[in-house]
Structure 1
Amino acid sequence: MSGRLTTHVLDLSQGLPATGMVLQLWRLEGRQGKLLLEAVTNADGRLNAPLLEGAQMEAGSYELLFMAGDYFRSIQSRLGVDATSSEDVMESETPFFLEQIPIRFKITNVTDHYHVPLLVAPGGYSTYRGS
C-alpha cells in the first residue's frame, strides 16, 4: 500500500466540520520552506484528495499551516456578526487569538498513512497523529 497524508478539521465552537478553511502544505528544507499546495476544506472538513500520496510522499519535515483567523472571521460574517463598522478595521482588530496554526511533523516511512487532524476553536486547538 502506498503512503498518504491527510487532514481533517473540526470546529469545536460549532460542533461541526470546519468548512472552507484554507490550509497550506509546506516542505521544510533547512531554514527555507517550499509551498507544495494550498487547499480548502470541504463540507466534511476534509480535502477532496490526500495532501500527498504515492510517489509524492517523501521522507522529511513538513508543515501544515491552517488559516484559522480568516476562517473564524468568515464564520462571523456568515452569522451576521459585525465586530466593527469597517471591513479594514475588522480584518486588523477582530480579536482572534489564533490567526495561523502551524503544525510541523516528520514523514519517516513513505508507505504509512499520516493523518493530521485539527480540532479548533477561536481560543485554542488540539492535534494528534490520527489513523
Structure 2
Amino acid sequence: MSEAPSSSLTIHVLNTLTGQPATGLATHLSQLQGPGLQWMELMKSSTNVDGHCPLFLAPGQVKAGTYKLHVDTGAYWQQLGYTSFYPYVEVVFTVTEQTRKLHIPLLISPFSYTTYKGS
C-alpha cells in the first residue's frame, strides 16, 4: 500500500552576515485570486531555529497560480541591532502545475537579498 502523495511549500532563510539560519522571521503566503486579481493571504508563519518554514500548505494545496511570499526582514534586523535597507522582502513566483514539492531559499543581509528556486 502506497502513501497518498503530499505536497509542500518550504522556505529556508539564511543570514549571510553571520552565516547562521534566520530564526523568528515573520512570513506571509498569499495567492493571486479572483476576477479582480486580489492577493488572498493563505497562511502566516515564522522561521524556526533552523531558518525553515517547514510546511506552508496542506497536501495538494500547491496548485497552479501566482503566489507571494512576504518576509518581514526589517523587524528581524532591528532585533539584532541593525538597520535594514529592505523593511521586507517579497518573492512573487508562479507555479505552472500542481506540484508535490516547492522550496524557496532566501539569503538575507541588512543591505541585500538573494533567492532562487530550490529543490
TM-score normalised to structure 2 length: 0.87
Structure 1 runs not aligned, ≥5 long: 77-93
What do you get for the CA RMSD once the two structures are aligned? 1.5
Matched, 1:22 2:26: yes
CA deviation after TM superposition for structure 1 residue 95, in Å:
4.1
TM-score normalised to structure 1 length: 0.79
Matched, 1:116 2:104: yes
Please list, as runs of the form range in 1=range in 2, the aligned pairs for 1:1-131 lying within 5 A after superposition.
Answer: 1-29=5-33, 30-47=36-53, 49-76=54-81, 95-131=83-119
**% identical equivalent positions:** 37
Structure with higher helix content: 1
Question: In the alignment, residue 102 of structure 2 is paired with which amino acid?
Answer: Y
Q: Deviations over 1:54-107 (max 9, x none)?
A: 23222100000010001000111xxxxxxxxxxxxxxxxx74211010000011
Larger radius of gyration: 1
Which stretch has the larger CA shift, 28-37 or 8-17?
28-37
Q: Distance in 2 between matches of 1:52 and 1:117?
A: 17
Aligned length: 113
CA deviation after TM superposition for structure 1 residue 112, in Å:
3.6
Structure 2 runs not aligned, ≥5 long: none
Answer whether contact 1:21 1:68 (CA < 8 A) is retained: yes
